[in-house]
């Protein structure tokens, strides 16, 4: 055995070792049970006596020097631990906290995908609105008592006549779309809305609505009823009881409120549904003629329906949540469940 040659190879290889894993490889190849040195030491006893006397101490010296080299390198690496070198792949780790989508995002994606399949185009509008689009064009002129339905966050601005505000609903986007498009169309407008009012288990100051608008020459309330029933069936995959009842909104005539039977008490009556057994999920109706003429459509030519659904209400029904304020609470105990 040319121990000198092998030793110098071993030294060169050891110089290239920079982490514990490759050091272990080095050890196995030079000092391991199947290494040339180990094999040689095992065969030593079979050598003639004379040979043994020379080779024995020699190979033992080689082994000692390699063990020393190994030890030194090992200490060296451990003392100058570079993080990546000291990585022990076998130590159990705490599982990482994975990010995931917010329940309202999940719900919005579901609603949007169902309406998209029904041929609705998705559009968006601004959260900072002007009085004209948020109220006036929707048949809610200044000083109209119906303005009390929407407690408004007004924005201080220099442009006095513009009267900027945070949109109180997504209905202004009906106007924005109709101003630039001719019927027939079906649109869906998801977005955030704001109300300057006290919060409780079912009301928030900021919340999401999804507005729908379908205008053509021959649209009726029966079409609306059918679209809503179908969409609810596809969104919740359950046969919920739905009722349509008359309601008042200045921009529709007739106006409708849509309720879904309360998921918490199953219609018996509880705090969540104010003992009615029903949860209101949207306002809707046939688009008021005033609104259609306000955007410049020829009088009497088109008809349509519009609706504005409360995304949080949908999510509460879908996930069985009885407190709307949890959505914006950033409480991980709540969010981690989705």
Binding site for ligand DAH (CB under 6 A): 169, 171, 211, 249, 252, 283-285, 306-308
Active site residue 10: no
Q: Which of 3, 26, 66, 150 is catalytic?
A: 150
CA distances from 28 to 17, 23, 34, 36, 67 (A): 13, 9, 8, 10, 12
Q: How far is the CB of 175 from ligand DAH (least distance, A)?
A: 11
Q: Which is nearer to ligand DAH, 256 or 272 (CB)?
A: 256
Beta bridge partners of residue 57, listed in sequence order: none
Q: Which is nearer to ligand DAH, 147 or 325 (CB)?
A: 147
Q: Which of 63, 169, 288, 313 is catalytic?
A: 169
Q: How far is the CB of 160 from ligand DAH (least distance, A)?
A: 26
The span from the CA of 98 to the CA of 93, in Å, is 14
Active site residue 150: yes
Q: Which of 209, 256, 258, 303 is catalytic?
A: 209
Rounded to the nearest 10 degrees, how much is the dihedral formed by the CA atoms of 281, 286, 288, 292? 110
Q: How far is the CB of 143 from ligand DAH (least distance, A)?
A: 19
Active site residue 66: no
Q: Which is nearer to ligand DAH, 103 or 283 (CB)?
A: 283
Encoding tokens for residue 212? 């729908």
Q: How far is the CB of 125 from ligand DAH (least distance, A)?
A: 13
Active site residue 209: yes
**244 in Cβ contact with 223 (< 8 Å):** no
Q: Which is nearer to ligand DAH, 273 or 281 (CB)?
A: 281
Active site residue 64: no
Q: Which is nearer to ligand DAH, 62 or 211 (CB)?
A: 211
Active site residue 252: yes
Find, among 123, 224, 222, 218, the residue nearest to 175 by Cα: 123
For the annotated catalytic residues, the residue numbers are 150, 169, 195, 209, 252, 306
């Amino acid at each position: 055995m040319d121990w000198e040659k092998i030793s110098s190879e071993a030294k060169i290889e050891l110089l290239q070792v920079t982490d514990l894993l490759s050091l272990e490889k080095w050890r196995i190849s030079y000092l391991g049970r199947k290494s040339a040195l180990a094999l040689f030491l095992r065969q030593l006893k079979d050598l003639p006596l004379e040979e043994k006397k020379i080779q024995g101490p020699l190979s033992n010296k080689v082994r000692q020097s390699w063990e020393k080299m190994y030890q030194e390198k090992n200490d060296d690496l451990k003392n100058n631990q570079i993080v990546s070198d000291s990585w022990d792949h076998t130590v159990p780790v705490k599982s990482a906290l994975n990010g995931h989508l917010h329940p309202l995002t999940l719900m919005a994606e579901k609603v949007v995908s169902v309406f998209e399949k029904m041929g609705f185009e998705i559009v968006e509008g601004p959260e900072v609105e002007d009085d004209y689009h948020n109220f006036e064009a929707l048949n809610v002129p200044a000083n109209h008592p119906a303005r009390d339905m929407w407690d408004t966050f007004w924005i201080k601005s220099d442009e006095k006549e513009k009267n900027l505000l945070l949109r109180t609903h997504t209905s202004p986007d009906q106007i924005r779309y109709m101003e630039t498009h001719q019927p027939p169309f079906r649109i869906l407008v998801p977005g955030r809305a704001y109300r300057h009012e006290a919060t409780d288990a079912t009301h928030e100051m900021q919340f999401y609505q999804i507005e729908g608008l379908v205008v053509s020459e021959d649209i009726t309330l029966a079409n609306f009823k059918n679209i809503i029933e179908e969409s609810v069936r596809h969104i919740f995959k359950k046969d919920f009881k739905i009722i349509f009842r008359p309601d008042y909104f200045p921009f529709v005539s007739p106006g409708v409120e849509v309720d879904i039977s309360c998921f918490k008490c199953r219609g018996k009556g509880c705090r969540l549904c104010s003992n009615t057994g029903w949860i209101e999920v949207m306002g809707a109706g046939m688009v008021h003629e005033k609104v259609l003429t306000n955007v410049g459509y020829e009088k009497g030519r088109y008809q349509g329906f519009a609706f504005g659904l409360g995304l949080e209400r949908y999510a509460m029904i879908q996930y069985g949540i009885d407190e709307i304020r949890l959505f914006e609470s950033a409480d991980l105990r709540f969010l981690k469940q989705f």
